[in-house]
Amino acid sequence: MVETPSLIQIKGIRDGLLITMDGASWPELVNAFIKNIDERSSFFQGARVVLDVGLNELRVAELSSLRDQLSEHGITLWAILSESPLTETTAQNLGLATRISKPQPIDYKDISESLAEDAAKWVKGPLRSGGHVSFEGNVVVMGDVNPGAEIVAGGSVIVWGRLRGVVHAGAYGNEKAVVCALELIPTQLRIAGEIAVSPKKQGKSQPEVACLKDGQLVAEPWQKMTGR
Amino acid sequence: MVAQVVTIASGKGGVGKTTSVANIAVALASRSNKVTCIDGDIGLRNLDVVLGLENRIVYDLVDVIEGRCRLHQAMIRDKRLPDLYLIPAAQTRDKTAISPSDMVRLCDELRQDVDWIIIDSPAGIERGFKNAIAAADRVLVMTNPEVSAVRDADRVIGLLDAEEKGPAALIINRLDPAMVKRGDMLSVEDVLDLLAIELVGVIPEDENIIVASNRGQPLALDGKSRAGQAFQNIARRLLGEQVPFMDLEQQSLFQRLLGRK
């Protein structure tokens, strides 16, 4: 029999309780945690907790079932800290935070040096309303970006589909960033510090590229770009 | 019998979830399927009114979950269709009275006894919505041909994907073919173009729906109503039949000539 207290460590932090769960299989950890809660239910009542799950790889079913169990005990799970990218993605999909401190101000120089120019995040679409992608490099979306979705990229954004949401390319000041889409009709488009809304379009749509020219946001047909 | 659990959700309120749950349940039950509908809108219950069963409520969903009665005691049998049951919501409580795992347990218990469980989700994307989709095998997302409703439907579809409850299917409600023709309303194609999911039904605007809901007599029982017909078609599609979509435009012209909407 494993000593349960050693699996679960509880620490008070500014934003609630930080629970560190490590050193056993996931079901064992969950059992130990729930047992812990049952023993001290008044202490946990109404708590906001952050779980540090270490290297555990968790899928939606596991995480959402734990979230539901916790909510039955009157506990709000609001963030997951993990070293596993899979778990982080899962947590983000469920709308949970994956970091607890305010993000550090970003040093632009650092990013441009550390990130190869061709680094890109691949996003399988469609990106629906409420969806959010943010990445220091380029972003490629395979599918539509619907109104209400948001992309923030340090580099350029390529949408293989219709772009109807909000996009910010060159978010850290890169004025050479471009945005291209098979159909470019964003709610709002930003490149570096410039903001524009797309004009009402008539006629047949075509692939377009938006970029900054002399401080102005302009969109041009893709064909014209390649013909140059 | 192992029931299929179908939840109807929309995000936005007032698009016709409750009316559709009532009508689809009636349509399924009229095809001799054993159906139980569950009102998930705790605190703002309506499904009992639309089904005309309000005065027969003794126990509700929360009573079952909190163990004050057995499951079958809370199941109200419909007065017209012997195969249709309703588990009403509690009116004096709120969404936090039950949890997603309560719903899963309840539906698992119910699954053995019926063919279909139809759950009416409340508007919103919070606890009530999460409760309503927890047990669902299939979620039907409902929208009106309006930009705001479609936007909310898009968000709900995204959430369903994230909860691994997808792929959702779509019902478009209150479509007015004449307005679409004038270019004043989003068409079915416009909505599908954005949401890009499977369509299971298009229900035409029909003022008889309001009359029927007020009387507690779902339209799907009325063979002549176009909206009732559309609900019957959705039920048939759920049962696996291939049913072509109605030609709403021609019909509306024809009906206008007859002076009937």
Structure confidence by residue, pLDDT tens digits, A8-49: 888 888 778 888 888 888 888 888 888 888 888 888 888 888
Q: Please write the tens of the pLDDT for every residue from A118-157.
A: 789 999 989 999 999 999 999 999 999 999 999 999 999 9
**Whether B154 and A148 lie within 8 Å, measured CB to CB:** yes
Ordered domains of chain A (ranges, CATH):
4-93 (3.30.750.24), 108-227 (2.160.20.70)
Query: Which residue in A70, A90, A124, A146 has the most chain B C-beta atoms within 10 A of its own C-beta, making it the best mutation to test that interface?
Result: A146
- Out of B101, B159, B162, the one facing A69 most closely (by C-beta) is B101
- Out of B100, B134, B155, the one facing A128 most closely (by C-beta) is B155
Instruction: Name the residue of chain B whose CA is nearest to A70's CA.
Output: B99
B48 CB burial (10 A radius; 0-12, 13-18, 19+): buried
Amino acid identity at B208: N
**Whether B163 and A69 lie within 8 Å, measured CB to CB:** no
Q: How many CB pairs under 8 A join A and B?
A: 48
CATH number for the domain spanning B128: value is 3.40.50.300
Q: Count CB-CB contacts under 10 A for residue A199.
A: 8
Using an 8 Å CB-CB cutoff, list residues of chain A that contact chain B: 60-61, 64-65, 68-69, 71-72, 93-95, 126, 128-131, 144, 146-148, 164
Q: How confident is the model at residue A1 (pLDDT cuts 50, 70, 90)?
A: very low
Q: What angle do CA A17, A23, A26 make, to 5 degrees?
A: 80
**Whether A68 and B99 lie within 8 Å, measured CB to CB:** yes
Query: How many structural domains is chain B composed of?
Result: 1
Whether the CB-CB separation of A16 and A50 falls below 8 Å is answered with yes
User: Which residues span the domain enclosing B25?
Assistant: 4-257
Of A104 and B7, the structure prediction assigns the larger pLDDT to B7
pLDDT at B14 over 80: yes
Q: Please write the tens of the pLDDT for every residue from A55-73.
A: 888 888 888 888 888 888 8
CA dihedral B125→B130→B134→B136, nearest 10 degrees, is: -30
Amino acid identity at B115: D
**Whether B155 and A130 lie within 8 Å, measured CB to CB:** yes
Tokens 């705790």, residue located: B42
Least confident of A42-51, A194-203, A204-213, B205-214: A194-203
Predicted local confidence at residue A40, as pLDDT = 85
Instruction: Name the residue of chain B whose CA is nearest to A125's CA.
Output: B158
pTM of the entire predicted model:
0.76
Cα gap B235→B28, rounded to integer Å: 6
CA B126 to mean position of chain CA atoms: 18
| Residues with Cβ within 8 Å of residue A100, at least 6 apart in sequence | A13, A15, A18, A50, A79, A81
Q: Give the pairing type, strands A179-184 and A208-213.
A: antiparallel
- Out of A60, A131, A164, the one facing B164 most closely (by C-beta) is A60
Instruction: Name the residue of chain A whose CA is nearest to B147's CA.
Output: A147
Query: Which residue in A63, A66, A68 has the most chain B C-beta atoms within 10 A of its own C-beta, making it the best mutation to test that interface?
Result: A68
Using an 8 Å CB-CB cutoff, list residues of chain B that contact chain A: 99-101, 127, 130, 134, 151-152, 154-155, 157-159, 161-164, 194, 196
B74's tokens: 């809370």
What is the complex's ipTM, to 2 decimals? 0.80
Q: How confident is the model at residue A186 (pLDDT cuts 50, 70, 90)?
A: very high
DSSP label of A57: -
Distance from the Cα of B10 to chain A's closest Cα (Å) equals: 13
**Whether B161 and A148 lie within 8 Å, measured CB to CB:** no
Distance from the Cα of A72 to chain B's closest Cα (Å) equals: 6
